[in-house]
């Protein structure tokens, strides 16, 4: 059962897509298909545009979003490498909505099988969805190993300089990009960062909590050390072909010599 707010909003978007003959289909992803949907969930829509009208629709995305009603703010998704995406805030009441505008050819390879909320008669969208290659972009062990020690050193360097907020930010980034995905990998789930980790895996959440620091040099140093320890443990599940040399010894020595180390 969807919350009434989300149910009503879906109907508004469905109606707007069906009125615009340049649009072939409305699909939904995210929590709508993965479960765990609640009052706080975003709505993730994929709008399939007739190829001949794609440039025209892309140029008028904000106007389309406005026609749904209640648009407060919107911006495009270049910061996440997805310029086809329009990220929107509607209200009242407040609801976060993503609108991604694609063409039918983009359905050949997908990271998940979206739900079809509207398909215009005569289109081939259903057939394309049925034949699409579905592949979640899980990262290989080498991806983690090549980045982990660089990012941990970055956090330690910021600690040494006294840039505590920067170091805390790197810890959050490291949890999302490395530790969270690797904990999901250990549990046999797609690598999805730290979202919903508290609900999915209490033990994993406890491990990640050790890498959360307060605005204090000693707390940050301990969190960086815990992050390195957890990475090493998780790396053992599927070791990279070649480990970065001299780690973690050099990193731990660097941490011991950085600001905030015990006297």
Per-residue pLDDT reduced to its tens digit, 47-73: 999 999 999 999 999 999 999 999 999
93 plus 178 within the same structural domain? no
Specify if 263 maps to a domain: no
Q: What is the CATH number of the domain that holds 249?
A: 1.20.120.330
pLDDT digits (tens, 9 = 90+) for 10-49: 999 999 999 999 999 999 998 888 777 889 999 999 999 9
Residue 125 · residue 107 · CB < 8 Å? yes
Q: Closest Cα to residue 104, out of 22, 49, 23?
A: 49
Specify if 79 maps to a domain: yes
Specify if 108 maps to a domain: yes
pLDDT tops 60 at residue 4: yes
192 plus 211 within the same structural domain? yes
Specify if 226 maps to a domain: yes
109 plus 171 within the same structural domain? no
**pLDDT band at 112; cut points 50, 70, 90:** confident
pLDDT of residue 258: 77
**pLDDT band at 136; cut points 50, 70, 90:** confident
pLDDT digits (tens, 9 = 90+) for 118-133: 999 877 898 899 889 9
56 plus 110 within the same structural domain? yes
- Residue 47, φ and ψ in degrees, nearest 5: -110, 120
Q: 159 lies in which domain range?
A: 141-257
153 plus 248 within the same structural domain? yes
89 plus 186 within the same structural domain? no
Report how far residue 198's alpha carbon sits from residue 196's, in angstroms, rounded to the nearest whole number: 5
Residue 211 · residue 227 · CB < 8 Å? yes
- Residue 198, φ and ψ in degrees, nearest 5: -60, -40
42 plus 77 within the same structural domain? yes
Number of domains in the chain: 2
Specify if 208 maps to a domain: yes
Q: Final residue of a domain: which of 90, 116, 134?
A: 134
202 plus 233 within the same structural domain? yes
8 plus 65 within the same structural domain? yes
Q: What is the CATH number of the domain that holds 61?
A: 3.30.460.10
CA dist 61 to 10, 70, 95, 209, Å? 17, 15, 18, 40
212 plus 125 within the same structural domain? no
pLDDT tops 70 at residue 263: no
pLDDT of residue 252: 93
Specify if 262 maps to a domain: no
31 plus 118 within the same structural domain? yes
Specify if 40 maps to a domain: yes
231 plus 117 within the same structural domain? no
pLDDT of residue 91: 96
pLDDT of residue 259: 63
Q: Closest Cα to residue 214, out of 151, 260, 147?
A: 260
């Amino acid at each position: 059962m969807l919350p009434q707010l989300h149910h009503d909003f879906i109907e508004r978007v469905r109606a707007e897509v069906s009125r615009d003959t340049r649009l072939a289909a409305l699909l939904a992803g995210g929590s709508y298909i993965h479960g765990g949907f609640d009052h706080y969930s975003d709505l993730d829509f994929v709008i399939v545009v007739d190829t001949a009208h794609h440039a025209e629709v892309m140029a008028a995305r904000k106007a389309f979003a406005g026609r749904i009603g209640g648009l407060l703010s919107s911006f495009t998704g270049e910061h996440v490498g997805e310029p086809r995406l329009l990220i929107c805030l509607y209200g009242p009441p407040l609801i976060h909505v993503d609108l991604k505008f694609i063409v039918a050819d983009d359905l050949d390879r997908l990271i998940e099988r979206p739900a079809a909320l509207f398909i215009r008669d005569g289109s081939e969208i259903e057939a394309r969805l049925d034949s699409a290659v579905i592949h979640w972009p899980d990262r290989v062990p080498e991806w983690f190993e090549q980045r982990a020690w660089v990012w941990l050193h970055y956090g330690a360097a910021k600690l040494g300089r006294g840039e505590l907020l920067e170091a805390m930010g790197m810890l959050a980034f490291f949890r999302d990009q490395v530790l969270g995905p690797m904990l999901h990998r250990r549990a046999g789930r797609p690598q999805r960062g730290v979202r919903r980790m508290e609900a999915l895996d209490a033990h994993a959440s406890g491990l990640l909590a050790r890498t959360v620091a307060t605005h204090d040099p000693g707390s940050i140093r301990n969190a960086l050390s815990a992050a390195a320890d957890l990475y090493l443990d998780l790396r053992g599940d599927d070791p990279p072909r070649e480990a970065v040399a001299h780690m973690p010894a050099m990193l731990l020595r660097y941490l011991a010599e950085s600001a905030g180390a015990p006297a």
